[in-house]
Chain A
């Protein structure tokens, strides 16, 4: 009882869903709780635009439920780059800089997403280096995987 605070906090279903994402898989339950306090929850209907190509990016989106289509305009026609499901995340380049989005994201099923705002991520890097480096490493691996996919000619999402 006295040493209850030393116990690892139990993970809620929402925390389990966060933990299942490759972005947060290396975080401890305590670190996950810190991150959860920074995340915003959004719900989208099928057909609703999450963000547009060319828009200034401010946040990363993590899919907790539902599916999202990523598409871009190429040679005047809209081409679907990929479809993402629960656990996947997109818009990650916005976490690193505020460059324009390279593709459009649109919900294709009723979606529930956790949104990680760039300023919160930057604040986290300054105040909590351990969580910051774990997320930065996950992001670097993700971008590295994209690079490998691109080099092998597989379809991939470029910088979002």
Chain B
């Protein structure tokens, strides 16, 4: 079964089903995002939960202890981080305002530098146009967008709180659910279905482990690059940017803006640091999209790198940011299901065995009538 290869029709079905699913999940983001978070946490917390169960804990207790412990530690870490960042005396609102002002100053300075070097830019008053639009945007940003952002954040909060609950139930009932699914499968297809469920599980596991490796690689490359050009706290910035890069393309742009803002605010007299940060980001992005991602996520899903890159673009076109983020894991799972269903549907012996078993059951049910 592992050596059987799917034909073009199965592959066309796989790609079509992936596109339909990605388009659908884009419409239920409120459920999709906590679901993905819960799956990531499930694979992270599964090993310690199983260890507790083997040590004699009941399934419920082990899931509650590990899940509860993890979220307690997370809450403590968040509280500690807030306490630590508040310590220097500057309230976080002021810090955000300072960095925002630093970023705006950097853009204005860059525009002036462009005007000085390129007379054409001076003739069209590039700095003035950008400055006017920037002022208009930042001046009306609070009135126009802040309320919307806050309302969205409040609306998202309850659905994000689903993640811990989903994680707990995945940990508690994951094994039972797999057996429950297998119970509904006819005997003739049972072994192949077990294999299918196992492969789906392995694919998801490989994907999320690949995502973890990709985050480490991105953090290392960005951290090294930012350290070489002299940006403060390169590892922390690299880690934040690597986490943002979970959303392909868009996440990286947000990460790049973040680092440029930090670099330009911390060293306002040295704009070259901020320009170099952009260079580091472009380099890291190229490495990430064309080397790391196909090698980690693409390889984890056993998909051809070209298909990986193409599917990322298709996912983005179909469902925006959510599509970019979800297209690869969805492709991996659909691929395994499609390939196995292809094997089951084309096996005359398995179908004949199923018909035979059904006839035996029908005869038994009709006995004595």
Contacts and interface: CB of A to CB of B under 8 A. Distances in A.
Contact of A119 (B53, B198, B349): B198
Interface string A106-128: 00000000010101000000011
Nearest to B55: A30
A142 to B, nearest CB: 21
A47 B360 contact: yes
Interface in B154-195: 175, 179, 182-183, 187-188, 190-192, 194-195
B364 A45 contact: yes
B349 A59 contact: no
B198 A48 contact: no
Interface in B230-251: none
B360 A127 contact: no
Interface of A is mostly: mixed
Nearest to A57: B191
B198 A117 contact: yes
A56 B183 CA distance: 21
B278 to A, nearest CB: 45
B1 A56 contact: yes
A51 B191 contact: yes
Interface of B is mostly: helix
A148 interface: no
B145 to A, nearest CB: 49
A38 B182 CA distance: 12
Given A48-B187, A115-B190, A40 B179 contact: yes
Interface string A38-59: 1011101111111110011111
A52 B349 contact: yes
Interface in A51-107: 51-52, 55-59, 98
Nearest to A49: B353
Given A40-B179, A48-B187, A52-B349, A127 B356 contact: no
A58 B182 contact: no
A34 B53 contact: yes
A42 B190 contact: yes
B27 interface: no
A127 to B, nearest CB: 6
Chain B contact residues (Cβ within 8 angstroms of A): what range?
Answer: 20 to 34
B143 interface: no
Contacts of A128: 54
B361 A58 contact: no
A45 B357 contact: yes
A3 interface: no
Contacts of B50: 127
Given A34-B53, A128-B54, A42 B187 contact: yes
Nearest to B199: A119
A37 B53 CA distance: 11
Nearest to A51: B191
B2 interface: yes
A117 B1 CA distance: 15
A128 B56 CA distance: 13
Given A58-B194, A128-B54, A44 B187 contact: yes
B190 A48 contact: no
Contact of B357 (A5, A30, A48, A127): A48
Most chain B beta carbons < 10 A, residue from A5, A49, A57: A49
Interface of B: 1-2, 47, 50-51, 53-54, 56, 59, 175, 179, 182-183, 187-188, 190-192, 194-195, 198, 349, 353, 356-357, 360-361, 364
The 4 closest A-B pairs by CB, nearest first: A58-B191, A119-B198, A45-B360, A117-B194
15 contacts: A5-B56, A30-B56, A34-B53, A37-B175, A41-B183, A45-B357, A47-B360, A48-B187, A48-B357, A51-B191, A55-B349, A98-B2, A117-B198, A127-B51, A127-B54
Given A40-B194, A49-B357, A51-B191, 9 more contacts: A5-B56, A37-B59, A38-B175, A40-B190, A42-B190, A47-B360, A98-B1, A119-B194, A127-B54
